Amino acid sequence: MKLLEFEAKEIFNRYGIPIPEGVVINSPDELSGQLNKFSDEVVVKSQVDVGGRGKAGGIIITTKADAVEAARHLFSLPIKGLIPKAILVEEKLPIEHEYYVSITIDRTTRQPMILFAETGGVDIEETARTRPEALRRAGFSPLLPDVPGYLMRRILGTAPKTLGPVINNLYKAFSASDALLAEINPLVTTPKGVFAADAKLIIDDNALIRQGITANRDLTPREREAEENGFSYVELDGSIGVIGNGAGLTMSTLDLIAHYDGKAANFLDVGGGAGRERVMKAVRLVAGMPDVKVIVVNLLGGITRCDEVAKGIIDAGIDQHVITRLAGTNEDEGKALLAENGYQMLETMEAVVKQAVKEAAA
Ligand code: GDP
Ligand code: MN
């Protein structure tokens, strides 16, 4: 999960990385009472989780007097389609130089890797293209509590030594947060010292519980229900509902729908060993999407029993047509049950998908 800038800064700061004085607001009016914190110029920053906000107009450097107006503007300015729910207002830093630093896990060596560039602020891809010599990287053992001194010296080259402790603290924050990426772009030098002017932190989703983090993105009621039931569920914009078991089978069902020029309404993987109740919930969930005209249920019976699946579909009692393809354990019982109750069961994935595409187009 990608954190917003102000959330990442808060965490970085806990590990000793200096961040600019600032406030987070949820509406422009909240700012007026807090402006006395700042001396003169401020930076008003849209908190959306996309890169390149600066270029998209999401960062305004202005005077205290005009800050509320700037915040009002940013609250209604979509950045790559996203409207911010929060805005970060910070003291403007007297920047001397901008650097780039990030820490990731290098999959090849299975080690943390630091990437450092003497030219920060801009896209790192751009630096890699135009000034590859300005980019330095170093990997080291994850068992070490600190970035080894010799590596830090190699990375910094002629850049100020004062960046060293900040980069080491970034590694501590990275490691303690179970992060996939910790990035400061730009990491800046000022007469008052080194600061993280921007911050990016992506936490491994598998570690969210350990980190005590609940996802900050808004879930639709259906997404929340799916999460509560342990379904892997993604909403798309077509009219063919899809239920499968196993990510692979469900994805191939989506691929086949696209192959026959249909549009899937969703991805829903009920998971392994789905019983009657789970299947019923999944069918009702997908049927509840307003655009769904027909539902494809494509399940492989293993631990999952096809007759249980059939009962779940029948229990759901929904309006839309459900077309199934069940194969495996108790397939014949499932087929009989469905047929008795007026549901269509076809032999192959192709047949099911073709039929669904036809019905969705009608
Ligand atoms: P991004 O575009 O989303 O990466 O946003 P950043 O927070 O990295 O800001 C983009 C650029 O705005 C930085 O590279 C700086 O040049 C400038 N900037 C941001 N904060 C400050 C500040 O406090 N003082 C000054 N002078 N410039 C800033
Ligand atoms: Mn940046």
Do residue 202 and residue 274 come from a single domain?
no
pLDDT band for position 116 (cuts 50, 70, 90): very high
| Sheet with strand 22-25: strands edge to edge | 22-25, 87-91, 41-46, 59-63
CB of 93 shorter than 6 A to ligand 1? yes
Ligand nearest to the CA of 53: 1
Enclosing H/E stretch for 285: helix 276-287
Question: What single-letter DSSP state applies at residue 82?
Answer: B
Give the pairing type, strands 232-235 and 200-203: unpaired
pLDDT, tens digit, for every residue of 81-108? 889 999 999 999 999 999 999 999 999 9
* Ligand 2 mean position, distance from CA 176 (Å): 22
Distance CA 299, CA 289 (A): 21
Is residue 214, in this structure, part of any structural domain at all? no
Do residue 243 and residue 321 come from a single domain?
yes
Q: Beta strands of the chain (E only): which ranges?
A: 22-25, 41-46, 59-63, 87-91, 97-106, 111-117, 135-139, 179-190, 193-196, 200-203, 232-235, 240-244, 266-269, 294-301, 321-328, 344-345
Q: Clarify whether 260 is annotated catalytic.
A: no
Where residue 80 sits, what CATH number does that domain have?
3.30.1490.20
Question: Which pLDDT does position 103 carry in this prediction?
Answer: 98
Is residue 189, in this structure, part of any structural domain at all? yes
**Is pLDDT above 60 for 131?**
yes
Q: Which domain holds residue 333?
A: 221-361
CB of 92 shorter than 6 A to ligand 1? yes
CB of 52 shorter than 6 A to ligand 1? yes
> Is 132 within 8 Å of 154 (Cβ atoms)?
no
Give the pairing type, strands 41-46 and 59-63: antiparallel
Where residue 356 sits, what CATH number does that domain have?
3.40.50.261
Distance CA 85, CA 237 (A): 25
Is residue 334, in this structure, part of any structural domain at all? yes
Domain count, the chain: 3
Do residue 85 and residue 102 come from a single domain?
no
Q: Clarify whether 183 is annotated catalytic.
A: yes
CB of 59 shorter than 6 A to ligand 1? yes
pLDDT, tens digit, for every residue of 229-251? 999 999 998 999 999 999 999 99
Is residue 42, in this structure, part of any structural domain at all? yes
Closest atom of ligand 1 to CA, residue 54: 2
> Which residue's CA is the closest to the ligand 1 atom numbered 7?
198
Roughly what angle, to the nearest 10 degrees, separates helices 163-176 and 5-14?
110
